[in-house]
Structure 1
Amino acid sequence: MRKISLLILLLTTYSEVFSQEAVPISKTDLESKVSDNNLQVKMAKKEAELAQAELLGTRAMYLPNVNASYTFSNTNNPLYAFGSKLNQARITAMDFNPDNLNNPKSISNFATKIEVQQPIINMDAVYQKKAGQVKVEALNIKTERTREYVQFELKKSYMMLQLAYKMLETLENAKQTTLANKKVIDNYYKNGMIQKSEVLYMDVRISEIESQIQTAKSNVKNASDYLYFLLNENSDNKVLKPTESLQYTEYIVDSNLRLNDHRKDLQAYQKSLEAYDWMIKSSKAKFLPKLNAFGSFEMYDNKVAQFNANGYLAGIQLSWNVFDGLKSKSEQEKYKAERSKAETEIEQYTKQSQLELSKANRQIEDAQTKVSFTKQAWEQSKEAYRIRKNRYDQGLEKSADLLSAETLMSQKELEYQQAVFEYNVAGEYQQFLKK
């Protein structure tokens, strides 16, 4: 019953995986895919768009501020009553009577007012705008670096998909080899030439390979789903299949390779320092004179929607912020401290990046050595299996020894494919780090 249940489970899973549509994809197709659809790239772009939206607020440094209002009031306050009547151009000689001045009747006032404030020179706002522009530039550069990272991740995931299919192919070939050997062993057993235990050994090996094949199929689907995730595409009932097989690619190793100072992430960090410089200048500029113009046009009447009297006011104001309770000074110190912190973080990040680049070079060398050794071991295991197979066919080897040789050969082939994958990934990572 356990065997039957296992068989049903394997058949069900096989049906689920391979009833899906196989979508072929090449490395060229992948490179032509628009990486802007990637969610990580989208988030970086939205961050830059947010900074651009914040930058729009600096337009207030040169655009006028215009307000319009319509106000109704009713008062018997002597001062406001006389002023309202004066604004309405309804003052007569009788209004100067002391009794009327001291005890006026209540008066209604409808006032329409348009106010305009026009900035002329505000250096602190000018420097704030400069800081905002630099911030936008930094985030745009960061977006470009994010796009480069996603492109590297796409290449890595594509190679992971190639490896998954290669391992599945290797295990399928191992299964065919084992089934061919099983036919020979079954014939030997029928003729009484071997014991039942040797047939059971072969059955165990086939079950082991079936289990590995099932895991390999799951790895194929996992790698395909991850690629779809990076591309931000729907993976329902679809599985990607690479048109090229996993191949060893030669990468140049330079132990003296130095970090590129113009790498986009480093450029973005330097831009952040520039933004802090502008913010410090903005804080200092708050003590500089500010020149602003202002004006208003007013219309008054004691009846609604009537505008029988009007007047205007216009002027220019030159002002200084002589002392603000050390608020601006504290702001300067804050920006200086943040800049110093950012400078230290950049130094640390730069040194870590150089270490990462050197490490990547060593990883390529180590992976290259591993490829050589695993390839040699694979070739030797194939030769060992060939020799044991010939001796087994001549009745000079046990089936257990043949199974051991076949298992070792399959294992070494898988190790070789894994080593090629690790080498190619290390090479692509080095290319990403040195851009």
Structure 2
Amino acid sequence: MKRVLIFTIALSFFSKVSAQETITVSKEELLQKVTEKNLQLKLANQEVEVAKAELLQTRAMYLPNVNASYTAMTTNNPLMAFGSRLNQGRVTMQDFDPSKLNNPDNISNFATKLEVQQPIYNQDMVYQKKAGQVKTDALAIKAERTSDYIKFEVAKAYMQLQLAYKAVETLENAKNTTLANKKVIDNYFKNGMIQKSDVLYMDVRVSEIESHLQFAKSNVRNASDYIYFLLGEDSNNHILKPTEKLDYQSYMLEETPKLNASRKDLQAYEKSLEAYDLMIKSSKSKFLPRLNAFGSFEMYDNKPYQFDSSGYLLGLQLSWNVFDGLKSKSEQEKYKTERIKAETELQQYTQQSQLEINKASRQVKDADNKVNLTKQALEQAKEAYRIRKNRYDQGLEKSSDLLVAETMMSQKELDYNQAIFEYNTALEYFKFLKN
């Protein structure tokens, strides 16, 4: 009784686990989850955040720079000693005695200082800020394009999962058909109506279907694991099952598809050219005058933490770099060359993208044609099997001929499902390239 109880509990546990292994999911659910959890998309968004953080550094072009310091020192240097007394407000007529000026006593000085530097006009920094903003925008557009690609990958993986389940269904139907035929053949053999070789042929066919069925079930798990990878999750021994079945998607193609000039990846390239233009302007602006304000407030005493004497300093500074050893000129040439390179890359990428669209369009048409051909072949194989089955039941066909017809029928059904998958995948890729 104890063994029976343990076996019953174990059987109940394993049945619950197996029930938890299969999770039904729709395509829309996956597309929604992947935008939140995909690791590649997270990396693209993090690149945007890094660019935004770098852009914050340009706030220095209009925000003040404030420094505070507290300095303690002791000296008998004539100049420093007299200057320290002057800052402390302790100079008397006796301090002008030449002997004291030349050989002063040791003096301590404690200084508190607050310095402020306020940028007013720095045109090169203005262009650098604009270039940083354009770079951030380009990365944001790139992240959107990455999101579109990840969604395409999810749609493709979902169709692979549909195909895998369709293959399992087809092979299970073929197995049931073969087992039914095997039962008839076994009866014929018992009655001495057929030879042993016919039974062996059927046994080989059953083993062959079992092998293919196991392979198809492995493909189900592989497709499920890949979807979990795209979601950035661990499968935890769970298997996904699609709520929609693999179906043909009708779509009207253009005769001569054209590249969408506003496609996000092309926009990102255009933004990079704009950033180079701004960096060139920034480099040129380094020769323009700069205007900055500065000020300080100081407190001195000969004792620590005492502030008996104070003073301030305010001013404006107008400066410009007349000659920097051709450093800015070289920088301009570098940005100009890099811009020409980026423009050439954009032209090449545009031409390559148009070629990909043309190729994808032809692939969709070829796959569509393949669907029609495999559909006709499947219908013919079904009809051929039906005829041979009827003739076999009447004793007019060999069991080997029936087996060949059944094998052909199941293979043509697998080919038809594969053609639908290839067509749907080619169509999804074409839509991705067009948008």
TM over 0.5: yes
How far apart, CA to CA, are the structure 1 residues paired with 2:28 and 2:327? Answer: 58
Corresponding residue number in structure 1 for 2:418: 418
Corresponding residue number in structure 1 for 2:6: none
Cα pair distance change 1:156/1:148, threshold 3 Å? same
Q: Secondary structure at the match of 1:72?
A: strand
Corresponding residue number in structure 2 for 1:182: 182
Q: Is the 8 A contact 1:287 1:320 kept in 2?
A: yes
Q: Is the 8 A contact 1:255 1:358 kept in 2?
A: no
How far apart, CA to CA, are the structure 2 residues paired with 1:254 and 1:288? Answer: 54
Q: Secondary structure at the match of 2:30?
A: helix
After superposition, give the CA deviation of every residue in 1:22-76 in whole Å (9 maximum; x if it has no partner).
2112234334446132112111110011100000000000000000011111111
Matched, 1:350 2:339: no
Q: What aligned pairs does 1:226-375 form with structure 2 within 5 A after superposition?
A: 226-375=226-375
Corresponding residue number in structure 1 for 2:11: none
Q: Which amino acid aligns with 2:427?
A: G
How far apart, CA to CA, are the structure 1 residues paired with 2:368 and 2:177? Answer: 30
Task: After TM superposition, give the deviation of residue 427 of structure 1 in Å.
Answer: 1.0
Task: After TM superposition, give the deviation of residue 108 of structure 1 in Å.
Answer: 1.0
Task: After TM superposition, give the deviation of residue 234 of structure 1 in Å.
Answer: 3.6
Q: Secondary structure at the match of 2:387?
A: helix
Corresponding residue number in structure 2 for 1:6: none
Question: Which stretch of the first structure deviates more once superposed, 137-146 or 279-288?
Answer: 137-146
After superposition, give the CA deviation of every residue in 1:290-316 in whole Å (9 maximum; x if it has no partner).
000001111111111011111111100
Task: After TM superposition, give the deviation of residue 128 of structure 1 in Å.
Answer: 0.2
Q: Is the 8 A contact 2:178 2:206 kept in 1?
A: yes
Q: What percent identity do the matched residue pairs reach?
A: 72
Question: Which stretch of the first structure deviates more once superposed, 41-50 or 232-241?
Answer: 232-241
After superposition, give the CA deviation of every residue in 1:125-150 in whole Å (9 maximum; x if it has no partner).
00000001111111111111111111
Matched, 1:53 2:53: yes
Cα pair distance change 1:252/1:385, threshold 3 Å? same
Task: After TM superposition, give the deviation of residue 86 of structure 1 in Å.
Answer: 1.1
After superposition, give the CA deviation of every residue in 1:328-371 in whole Å (9 maximum; x if it has no partner).
11111111111111101111111111011111110011001110
How far apart, CA to CA, are the structure 2 residues paired with 1:262 and 1:375? Answer: 38
Q: Which amino acid aligns with 1:421?
A: F
Count of aligned residue pairs for this structure pair? 422
Task: After TM superposition, give the deviation of residue 17 of structure 1 in Å.
Answer: 10
Corresponding residue number in structure 2 for 1:137: 137
How far apart, CA to CA, are the structure 1 residues paired with 2:344 and 2:204? Answer: 60
Q: Which amino acid aligns with 1:59?
A: R
How far apart, CA to CA, are the structure 1 residues paired with 2:267 and 2:276? Answer: 15
How far apart, CA to CA, are the structure 1 residues paired with 2:356 and 2:255? Answer: 12
Q: Is the 8 A contact 2:34 2:230 kept in 1?
A: no
Corresponding residue number in structure 2 for 1:220: 220
Q: Which amino acid aligns with 2:170?
A: T
Question: Which stretch of the first structure deviates more once superposed, 347-356 or 148-157?
Answer: 148-157
Q: Secondary structure at the match of 2:307?
A: coil
Question: Which stretch of the first structure deviates more once superposed, 50-59 or 25-34?
Answer: 25-34
Q: Secondary structure at the match of 2:240?
A: strand
Runs of 5+ consecutive residues of structure 2 not aligned to the other structure: 1-13
TM-score using structure 2 length: 0.94
Q: Secondary structure at the match of 2:287?
A: coil
Q: Is the 8 A contact 1:48 1:140 kept in 2?
A: yes
Task: After TM superposition, give the deviation of residue 20 of structure 1 in Å.
Answer: 4.7
RMSD, aligned α-carbons: 1.6
How far apart, CA to CA, are the structure 2 residues paired with 1:303 and 1:34? Answer: 67
Question: Which stretch of the first structure deviates more once superposed, 255-264 or 232-241?
Answer: 232-241
Q: Which amino acid aligns with 1:227?
A: I
Corresponding residue number in structure 2 for 1:29: 29
Q: Secondary structure at the match of 2:360?
A: helix
Runs of 5+ consecutive residues of structure 1 not aligned to the other structure: 1-13
Corresponding residue number in structure 2 for 1:405: 405
How far apart, CA to CA, are the structure 1 residues paired with 2:291 and 2:179? Answer: 92
How far apart, CA to CA, are the structure 2 residues paired with 1:34 and 1:159? Answer: 16
Q: Is the 8 A contact 1:135 1:275 kept in 2?
A: yes
Question: Which stretch of the first structure deviates more once superposed, 59-68 or 304-313?
Answer: 304-313
Q: Is the 8 A contact 1:36 1:147 kept in 2?
A: no
How far apart, CA to CA, are the structure 2 residues paired with 1:255 and 1:303? Answer: 90
Cα pair distance change 1:20/1:213, threshold 3 Å? farther
Q: Secondary structure at the match of 1:257?
A: coil
Task: After TM superposition, give the deviation of residue 159 of structure 1 in Å.
Answer: 1.0
Corresponding residue number in structure 2 for 1:433: 433
Q: Secondary structure at the match of 2:357?
A: helix
Q: Is the 8 A contact 1:65 1:116 kept in 2?
A: yes
How far apart, CA to CA, are the structure 1 residues paired with 2:355 and 2:257? Answer: 11
Q: Secondary structure at the match of 1:286?
A: helix
Corresponding residue number in structure 1 for 2:387: 387
